[in-house]
């Protein structure tokens, strides 16, 4: 079947696909306008449906914003999980995870700035962001645990959690910076963090630096 | 002069001292109640002055909250600056800075949870928090630069900023965790972060670990 013409009747587009179109439009509008100034008319228009249909499918503006947050965070978590191939050496797993994350942020600078920062600094969305952050911390904790076990080591749960929190906090901090610096390459940001957390400041100060695999 | 009796007339207490008492009371009330549920009557009562005097000295509830934030952040920055004795080796400077920070958070768990987290997740305070965070990043960038120069090395400004952002992001992340875990010792948290960023994960995975100076 050829690409669907723009005037295809609504009924022809499956619900799931229609929802994704609405979410694409909503992410764009929330990113450009911010939550408070975004309006549902623009979102409806961009997704090519009526405003009542947006409400019927995805609820109020607040519910729609939360749906955007959830989709973006699910994409991010899936990306992290896919990046970390457990057959690779631990530094390469970490490198791929970080690179995947910073590329995600680099490709969605507006989305990161507005969706994540905005959500983090506004109730009730901050609760949602805290939950998605926790699931990322869990994924990373599990990965670290698996990598250490492969090396024949076992680390106390609190130590693993602290390590994952260090990585997540440092990554968020650098992601905000990356979102503000369009000239910065996401791979470069990932390398900076590898140098900080993989090698450690001690090595860095001796002039040793970590390089991505060729 | 002996300690001032509780019934000293208001006029006898110098303005600066009176303001500090009001701020002490405000931090406590904001911490216990949260910004929205805190009320000025309770703050006035706790500082032993009338409500109009609180307004006259420190302005609206919003201005008072910002004054609290500024005082706490100034204390924190002063603490960090004092901790980092430039004559010490770099790892000990970092250790003292981190230990000072986590002890600050450990001693003011409520203050950190409510003032910082609350402020970070609510406009217009989030702007204020972003500014105080930037000043911390600057202090750390300068310290890193000084430490590297002492070792005869010079690093590009962006690399220094990225390292400082890594430290600050990781520290915030662990501070939130520390605030939620009353059993965790602040020195232990500082050691965890030293292990992550000073030694690097590579060393950690080999079982090497950093220990605080005796």
Compute CA B106 distance to the chain's CA centroid, rounded to the nearest angstrom: 10
Contact A162 B202 (CB under 8 A): no
Contacts 24+ apart (CB under 8 A), B118-122: B118/B30, B118/B34, B118/B35, B119/B65, B119/B69, B120/A120, B120/A121, B121/A120, B121/A121, B121/A122, B121/A123, B121/A126, B122/A121, B122/A122, B122/A123, B122/B35
Q: Is the pLDDT of residue A26 over 90?
A: yes
Q: Which of B124, B159, B162 to mutate to test the interface with A (most CBs of A within 10 A)?
A: B162
- What is the pLDDT averaged over residues B180-207? 82
Contact B90 A162 (CB under 8 A): no
Q: What is the pLDDT of residue A204?
A: 62
Q: Which of B122, B200, B206, B210 to mutate to test the interface with A (most CBs of A within 10 A)?
A: B200
The length of chain B is 214
CA-based nearest distance B10→chain A, Å: 39
Nearest to B201 by CA among A120, A207, A159: A159
Chain B: residues touching A (Cβ < 8 Å): 90-91, 94, 120-123, 126, 147-148, 151, 153, 158-159, 161-163, 165-174, 176-177, 184, 189, 192-193, 196-205, 207
Residues of B in contact with A191 (CB under 8 A): none
Q: Are B174 and B192 in contact (CB under 8 A)?
A: yes
Q: How far apart are CA A117 and CA B147, in angstroms?
A: 33
Quick one: B13 exposed, middle or buried, by C-beta within 10 A (0-12, 13-18, 19+)? middle
Q: Is the pLDDT of residue B20 over 50?
A: yes
Residues of A in contact with B169 (CB under 8 A): 169-174
Q: How many CB pairs under 8 A join A and B?
A: 131
Q: Is the pLDDT of residue A12 over 80?
A: no
CA-based nearest distance B151→chain A, Å: 8
Contact B173 A168 (CB under 8 A): yes
Q: What is the pLDDT of residue B150?
A: 78
CA-based nearest distance A89→chain B, Å: 11
Q: CB-CB: which of A94, A151, A174 is closest to B162? A: A174
Average pLDDT, chain B: 83
The tens digit of pLDDT for each residue in A76-101 reads 878 777 776 778 877 888 888 889 88
- What is the pLDDT averaged over residues A38-53? 95
Compute CA A144 distance to the chain's CA centroid, rounded to the nearest angstrom: 19
Q: How far apart are the first and last CA of chain B?
A: 42
Residues of A in contact with B197 (CB under 8 A): 166, 196-197, 200-201
Residues of A in contact with B123 (CB under 8 A): 121-122
Q: Are B165 and A177 in contact (CB under 8 A)?
A: yes
Q: Which domains does chain A have, with CATH numbers?
A: 13-59 (1.10.10.60), 69-205 (1.10.357.10)
DSSP string computed for B152-191: T----HHHHHHHHHHHHHHHHHHHHHHHH-TTS-HHHHHH
Indicate the pLDDT class of residue B35, thresholds 50, 70 and 90.
Answer: confident
Contact A200 B203 (CB under 8 A): yes
Q: CB-CB: which of B151, B169, B173 is closest to A205? A: B151
- What is the pLDDT averaged over residues B78-82? 77
Q: Is the pLDDT of residue A46 over 90?
A: yes
- What is the pLDDT averaged over residues B75-103? 82
The length of chain A is 214
Separation in Å, CA A162 to CA A89, A140, B20, B172: 21, 11, 36, 12
Q: How far apart are CA B81 and CA A167, in angstroms?
A: 25
Residues of A in contact with B158 (CB under 8 A): 184
Residues of B in contact with A198 (CB under 8 A): 200-202
Q: How far apart are CA B74 and CA A79, in angstroms?
A: 40
Q: What is the pLDDT of residue A31?
A: 83
Nearest to B165 by CA among A169, A109, A102, A112: A169
CA-based nearest distance A131→chain B, Å: 14
Q: How far apart are CA B53 and CA B159, in angstroms?
A: 49
Q: Would you tell me how many other CB atoms lie within 10 Å of the CB of residue A86?
A: 10
Indicate the pLDDT class of residue B201, thresholds 50, 70 and 90.
Answer: low
Separation in Å, CA A138 to CA A132, A135, A154, A162, B104: 10, 5, 17, 11, 27
Q: What is the pLDDT of residue B146?
A: 83
DSSP string computed for A100-115: HHHHHHHHTHHIIIII
- What is the pLDDT averaged over residues A35-63? 94
Lowest-pLDDT choice from A12-16, A70-74, A148-152, B202-206 = B202-206
DSSP string computed for B61-128: HHHHHHHHHHHHHHHHHHHHHHH--TTS-HHHHHHHHHHHHHHHHHHTHHIIIIIIIHHHTSTTHHHH
Instruction: Return phi, psi of residue A19, to 5°.
Output: -60, -40
Q: Are B90 and B210 in contact (CB under 8 A)?
A: no
Q: How far apart are CA A143 and CA B180, in angstroms?
A: 24
Residues of A in contact with B127 (CB under 8 A): none
Indicate the pLDDT class of residue A19, thresholds 50, 70 and 90.
Answer: very high
Q: Is the pLDDT of residue A134 over 70?
A: yes
What ipTM describes this predicted complex?
0.79
Q: What is the pLDDT of residue B152?
A: 78
Compute CA B46 distance to the chain's CA centroid, rounded to the nearest angstrom: 23
Q: How far apart are CA A35 and CA A64, in angstroms?
A: 10
């Amino acid at each position: 079947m050829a690409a669907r013409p723009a005037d295809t009747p609504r009924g022809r587009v499956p619900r799931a696909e229609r929802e994704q179109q609405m979410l694409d439009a909503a992410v764009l509008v929330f990113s450009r306008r911010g939550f408070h100034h975004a309006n549902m008319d623009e979102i409806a228009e961009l997704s090519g449906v009526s405003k009542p249909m947006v409400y019927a499918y995805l609820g109020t503006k607040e519910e729609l914003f939360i749906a955007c947050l959830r989709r973006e965070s699910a994409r991010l978590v899936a990306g992290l999980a896919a990046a970390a191939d457990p057959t690779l050496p631990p530094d390469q797993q970490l490198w791929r995870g970080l690179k995947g994350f910073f590329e995600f942020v680099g490709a969605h600078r507006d989305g990161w700035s507005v969706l994540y920062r905005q959500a983090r600094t506004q109730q009730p969305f901050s609760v949602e962001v805290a939950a998605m952050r926790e699931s990322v911390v869990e994924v990373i904790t599990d990965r670290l645990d698996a990598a250490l076990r492969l090396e024949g080591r076992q680390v106390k749960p609190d130590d693993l959690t602290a390590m994952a929190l260090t990585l997540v906090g440092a990554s968020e901090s650098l992601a905000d910076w990356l979102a503000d610096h369009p000239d910065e390459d996401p791979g470069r940001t990932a390398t900076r963090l590898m140098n900080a957390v993989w090698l450690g400041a001690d090595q860095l100060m001796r002039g040793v630096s970590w390089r991505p695999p060729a």
